[in-house]
Structure 1
Amino acid sequence: DDQVLGTRQMQIALRRLRKFARQGAAEELDVDGTIRETAKQGILDVQLVPERRNRIKVLMLFDVGGSMDAYIAECEKLFSAAKSEFKTLEYFYFHNCLYDHVWKDNHRRSSTRMNTWDLFHTYGRDYRVIVVGDASMAPYELKSAGGSVEYMNEESGEVWLRRLRQHFDKTAWLNPEMEGYWHYTQTISWIKEIFENHMFPMTLKGLEDMTRYLSR
Structure 2
Amino acid sequence: MDRHRRNQPFGAYGYNPEGIRIGQDGSRHRRATKVWDERRFRDYDDSLELGTRNIKMALRRLRKFARQGALEEFDVDSTIRETAKDAGLLNVQMRPERHNAVKVLLFLDVGGSMDDHIRVCEELFSAARSEFKHLEHYYFHNCLYEGVWRNNLRRGNERIPTMDVLHTYGADYQVVIVGDAAMSPYEVTHPGGSVEHFNDEAGGVWLKRLCETFPRLAWLNPMPPRAWEYTYSTQLIREIIDDRMYPMTMEGLETAMRELAKK
Q: Same fold (TM over 0.5)?
A: yes
Instruction: String of CA shifts for 1:161-185, please: whole Å, max 9, x gaps.
Output: 0000000121111000011111111
Distance 2:218 2:96 in 1: 30
- State yes or no: 1:16 paired with 2:64: yes
8 A contact 1:174–1:202 mirrored in 2:
yes
Q: The residue matched to 2:219 in structure 1 has which SS?
A: strand
The one of 140, 157, 165 aligned to 1:94:
140
Instruction: String of CA shifts for 1:17-71, please: whole Å, max 9, x gaps.
Output: 2231125xx464226x843x33432x59685657714010001000111100000
Distance 2:224 2:134 in 1: 29
The answer for unaligned runs of 5 or more in structure 2 is 1-51
Give the structure 1 partner of residue 260 of structure 2: 214
The one of 135, 140, 144 aligned to 2:186:
140
2:72 counterpart letter in structure 1: R
Q: The residue matched to 1:54 in structure 2 has which SS?
A: coil
Deviation of the 1:146 alpha carbon: 0.5
State the TM-score, normalizing by the size of structure 1.
0.89
Deviation of the 1:197 alpha carbon: 1.1
Q: The residue matched to 1:147 in structure 2 has which SS?
A: coil
Deviation of the 1:214 alpha carbon: 0.1
Instruction: String of CA shifts for 1:87-146, please: whole Å, max 9, x gaps.
Output: 111100000000001000011101221100000111111101001000000111110001
Measured on the aligned residues, the alpha-carbon RMSD in Å equals 2.1
Distance 1:175 1:5, change over 3 A: farther
The one of 122, 128, 140 aligned to 2:174:
128
How many pairs does the alignment contain? 208
State the TM-score, normalizing by the size of structure 2.
0.74
Q: Which runs of 4+ in 1 moved over 6 A?
A: none
Distance 1:11 1:77 in 2: 9
Query: Higher relative contact order by CA 8 Å / sep ≥ 6: 1 or 2?
Result: 1
Give the structure 2 partner of residue 191 of structure 1: 237
Correspondence list, 1:30-179, <5 A? 30=78, 34-35=81-82, 37-41=83-87, 43=88, 47=92, 49=94, 52=97, 53-179=99-225
Give the structure 1 partner of residue 227 of structure 2: 181
Distance 2:255 2:240 in 1: 18
Q: The residue matched to 1:98 in structure 2 has which SS?
A: coil
1:15 counterpart letter in structure 2: R
The answer for unaligned runs of 5 or more in structure 1 is none
Distance 2:53 2:225 in 1: 15
Distance 1:190 1:110 in 2: 28
The one of 193, 199, 202 aligned to 2:248:
202
8 A contact 1:128–1:168 mirrored in 2:
yes
Q: Compare the two structures and name the one with the higher strand fraction.
A: 1
Deviation of the 1:13 alpha carbon: 2.1
8 A contact 2:107–2:177 mirrored in 1:
yes
What is the identity percentage for the equivalent residue pairs of Structure 1 and Structure 2?
44
